[in-house]
Amino acid sequence: MLIEALEGDVTVVYCNAIAASVQIEVEPVGRWFEAFLKRRNRNVSASFQELEEEEELSEESEDEELQLEDFPLLRTLDPKDWKNQDHYAVLGLAHMRYKATQKQIKAAHKAMVLKHHPDKRKAAGELIVEGDGDYFTCITKAIEILSDPVKRRAFDSVDPTFDNAVPSKGEGKENFFEAYAPVFERNARWSSKKHVPRLGTMDSSFEDVDHFYSVWYNFDSWREFSYLDEEEKDKAECRDERRWIEKQNRAARATRKKEEMNRLRTLVDTAYSLDPRIKKFKDDEKARKENEKKAKADAKRKEQEEKERARQAELDAARLAKEKEEEEAKLVAQQAKKEKEIQKKAIKKERQKLRTTCKNWNYFGDNESDSVKMMEDVEKLCDRLELVSLQSLNEGLALGSKEEGKVAVEKQVQEVNAQLQKEKDAEVQARQAVRTTVQASGGGGGGGKGWNEEELPLLIKAVNLFPAGTNARWEVIANYMNLHSTSGIKRTAKDVINKAKNLQKLEPGQKDEINKKAFEKFNKEHAAVPQTVDNAVPSERFDGEWSFTNTASWTTEEQKLLEQALKTYPVSTPERWEKIAAAVPGRTKKDCMKRYKELVEMVKAKKAAQEQVGSKSRK
């Protein structure tokens, strides 16, 4: 700092040229040479050595300035209870505690020895307790603990002045940073790593906050509780006792370590849940995600709108094309309709002309019977002939005489009759071909005998009754047919398989023909009224429910209603069948009872066929 100029002094500035710098080699000697050797061996610069010397000087000055606190209770301490004493307070370092350096501890011990040594106190006329009962033993024990890094760490871990309390949620909600910042700073002393991040402020960045909680959630604490061991293994009398003491101490340490880690985890969890920055970051993240979601939704909506517009454009184009095609088809249909109407009118006109011409000639008959017959033939011609044939026939009748007209009409009638006969013969041949195919497909089983019309429906019924998956299905079907067939022909499983394959190859029309014949036979059998034995006159009593029976087949819906009604109304229900009939619309009591009997017989037959096949397989 420049000295202020006095009044009257004149400041002169010389602007002469400065001489160039010259490099000079200097050889260190004496203590400077010793410092040079130290720097070269340690590979450090002169400035770094100067810093070290400054630190040493500052430590020496701190040692000189070390202020020890008096411990009033020092003389009252019990040397036997040294484990429960505050070693820092004994040495006068209660205000420094774990921050005190080894030099400070040694200086404090030196000062306490000079002041409280038994020889010095004895020389001063103070009464000294002989042996280890003097309180000076506590000072010796304090320096023994604090001068050993391992023992000092054990004592620091259970420092009696350390506050293990964790702020409650109520305290942290109102003043989070004021409540939790000192707690984290206080507990940071237990970290095995240096430079533990601070809690920060409300303006801390997300990276800083995330790093803070990441460090504390993975906190590595060096705190251990060996100082609180209840048993000392050095006092053990044998190896087994020493091992037992070590085992007990390890278990106690592990328990206390677990409690300590739970305490720290509770601290971090509570702070994380109450940290207003975390809530702010979550809200910001939620808002960001909502914005992204909204942006994606808007983009998707726009894309959907574009697709919808494109699709609508395609639909409109397709609709216009379809309308155009429909319009063209409509015009074509109208044109065809007009042509058809014209043709229809022309045919009607030609038919009327043919009838009028024939009527004028009295239908070419000499008597009434011939005229009636010719009238029928003329109507047949009107129904069968096309427009061109009618026109040519009318032109021939108009140009020719009555006899020529009669010959032309009769010729045309013969041609129409021949055509009708040809169509009839073709239909008869088709029916005969179907019948021949059915009869031909019936061969191959049952000793070479064909299948009659009764066995085919019975086979179809058995195939439906015993579906695929039935045990020994085809043997069961064959036994079912042998039990219910009246032909007397015994069918084997091989016969049934061959016939079923042949039925599968039939055309749908042929299958319908077989089913139709079976249904007609069923109606014929059930429509027959059995004759009474004594030909007694029936009673005059009329019962509407029993006098009418619905012969229509049961539908699937009616079958389901009947089964549900049978479950709903058990045998013990009074007037059971009346209630069941009421539950099935369109069916009487007699219909329901009859259907129930048919189902029972069907189930019995199925079981009998399966049992028969089972008995054969066991044999």
Task: Please tell me the predicted confidence (pLDDT) of residue 246.
Answer: 85
With beta carbons less than 8 A apart as the criterion, state whether 340 and 349 touch: no
With beta carbons less than 8 A apart as the criterion, state whether 457 and 518 touch: yes
Q: 179 Cβ partners below 8 Å, 6+ apart?
A: 167, 171, 172
Distance of CA 263 to the CA centre of its chain: 39
Q: Helices marked H in 275-401 — which ranges? A: 276-360, 368-384, 387-399
Report DSSP state, residue 449.
P
With beta carbons less than 8 A apart as the criterion, state whether 411 and 392 touch: no
Task: Please tell me the predicted confidence (pLDDT) of residue 531.
Answer: 42
Q: Distance (Å, rounded) from C-alpha 3 to C-alpha 251?
A: 72
CA proximity to 227, closest of 133, 288, 298, 152: 152
Task: Please tell me the predicted confidence (pLDDT) of residue 291.
Answer: 93
Encoded amino acid at 435, one letter: R
Q: 261 Cβ partners below 8 Å, 6+ apart?
A: 221
Structure tokens at 55: 């630190």
Report DSSP state, residue 78.
-
Encoded amino acid at 147, one letter: S
pLDDT along the chain (619 residues), means of 10: 62 62 80 79 68 59 66 81 85 86 90 86 80 83 89 87 84 84 88 86 89 90 83 75 85 89 90 89 91 93 93 92 91 90 87 85 78 82 84 84 83 87 85 67 50 79 80 84 80 86 70 65 53 38 41 81 86 85 86 87 80 69
With beta carbons less than 8 A apart as the criterion, state whether 377 and 385 touch: no
For 383, counting Cβ atoms within 10 Å of its Cβ (0-12 exposed, 13-18 middle, 19+ buried), the class is exposed
Task: Please tell me the predicted confidence (pLDDT) of residue 572.
Answer: 82
